A and B are shown apart, each in its own frame.
Chain A
């Protein structure tokens, strides 16, 4: 069923090399990662060399060549959040999830990433879970937030 979705995405862009990034984003959103088979399919459908697809898929941080968890946790480590205690927040998130930045747990619940400035400096320190910003986060409060995601 998942590969049906990929086929649908590819059907909309077949033969259009310019749609490469668009297609990869859609597949990434659908599957939360880019399986090798999907990259080969993309190359064939869009008539783009596989090496080009690999280049783009490895260039941007949006794309993952490893399976990601159901929930993506981003902890901001930008300067503004850092001075407001992002390091302690990150340490607490790491302790709770048992993950280092870039890792995904074995139950595919969380993927942890850091970002040097996620763009809401006035709300810092912030974490973003599945696109939802959680502002003025503290090590004490973060457990309650992450518990909401299973």
Chain B
């Protein structure tokens, strides 16, 4: 068999009926966004490694006649893959995910906008306002981009949460605060100021209009 070895193999796959060119190693989400097909995400950030925490970017993929549901931010593109970013089942999956997340953060603007799009009922599940949806954007941004690791996960299972490490946060966070804007619920900001108030108060600068 003739074997060519181009530096990167080009792959054509089908997303929502459109033929989309992608290179090997890309994820379905990257291929879709290169073709301006939008897939909703909460834990995805271009500069960060894919994480697959929120599961909102779930799509239907069909290969060799078999359908399955995968998170597009982690799923690698493949030749002749058929991807559907919207279908009844995909929409239902996203709707339930949103309903579950809304039990934790009922007033997040990002969640509310998506809830409207997918018809999610914010009152479906009993409220358990942790305000954090554990997307890990703050934790990963601080570790991967800033290299400071001022915020991390603690505990496990249902009690898992983010916490700023006072020893690091007291030196690093005041002049950065970049994770606040990434947070879909504003909880990162709240968690930081709580840590500041408890562990190293008095850092507050005079408020200037």
Q: Do A and B make up one complex?
A: yes
- Which residues of A are in contact with B by a Cβ distance under 8 Å? 40, 49-52, 54-55, 58-59
Structural contact, B155 and A52, CB atoms closer than 8 A: no
A58 to B163, CA, bound (A): 11
Structural contact, B156 and A59, CB atoms closer than 8 A: yes
Structural contact, A52 and B154, CB atoms closer than 8 A: no
A142 to B155, CA, bound (A): 33
Structural contact, B154 and A55, CB atoms closer than 8 A: yes
A50 to B164, CA, bound (A): 10
Q: Can you name 21 A-B residue pairings with CB atoms under 8 Å?
A: A49-B149, A49-B152, A49-B168, A50-B165, A50-B167, A50-B168, A51-B139, A51-B149, A51-B150, A51-B151, A51-B152, A52-B149, A52-B152, A54-B152, A54-B163, A54-B165, A55-B152, A55-B153, A58-B156, A59-B154, A59-B156
* A contact face: mostly helix, strand, loop, or mixed: helix
Interface check B173, CB cutoff 8 A: no
- Which residues of B are in contact with A by a Cβ distance under 8 Å? 139, 143, 149-156, 163, 165, 167-168
Contacts of B165 in A (CB 8 A): 50-51, 54
Contacts of B156 in A (CB 8 A): 58-59
Contacts of B167 in A (CB 8 A): 40, 50
Contacts of B151 in A (CB 8 A): 51
A74 to B150, CA, bound (A): 35
Contacts of A50 in B (CB 8 A): 149, 165, 167-168
Contacts of B149 in A (CB 8 A): 49-52
Q: How many pairs, one residue from A and one from B, have CB atoms within 8 Å of each other in the complex?
A: 33
A59 to chain B, nearest CB (A): 5
A55 to chain B, nearest CB (A): 5
B128 to chain A, nearest CB (A): 20
A2 to B14, CA, bound (A): 64
Contacts of A59 in B (CB 8 A): 154-156
B199 to chain A, nearest CB (A): 12
Contacts of A51 in B (CB 8 A): 139, 143, 149-152, 163, 165, 168
Q: Which A-B residue pairs are the 8 nearest by beta carbons? A: A51-B152, A49-B149, A58-B154, A51-B149, A51-B165, A59-B156, A58-B155, A55-B152
B153 to chain A, nearest CB (A): 5
A48 to chain B, nearest CB (A): 9
A52 to B168, CA, bound (A): 12
A40 to B168, CA, bound (A): 11
A28 to B152, CA, bound (A): 22
A49 to B147, CA, bound (A): 9
B9 to chain A, nearest CB (A): 34
Give the most central of B139, B151, B156: most A CB within 10 Å: B156
B190 to chain A, nearest CB (A): 18
B24 to chain A, nearest CB (A): 31
A54 to B167, CA, bound (A): 12
Contacts of B139 in A (CB 8 A): 51
B106 to chain A, nearest CB (A): 27
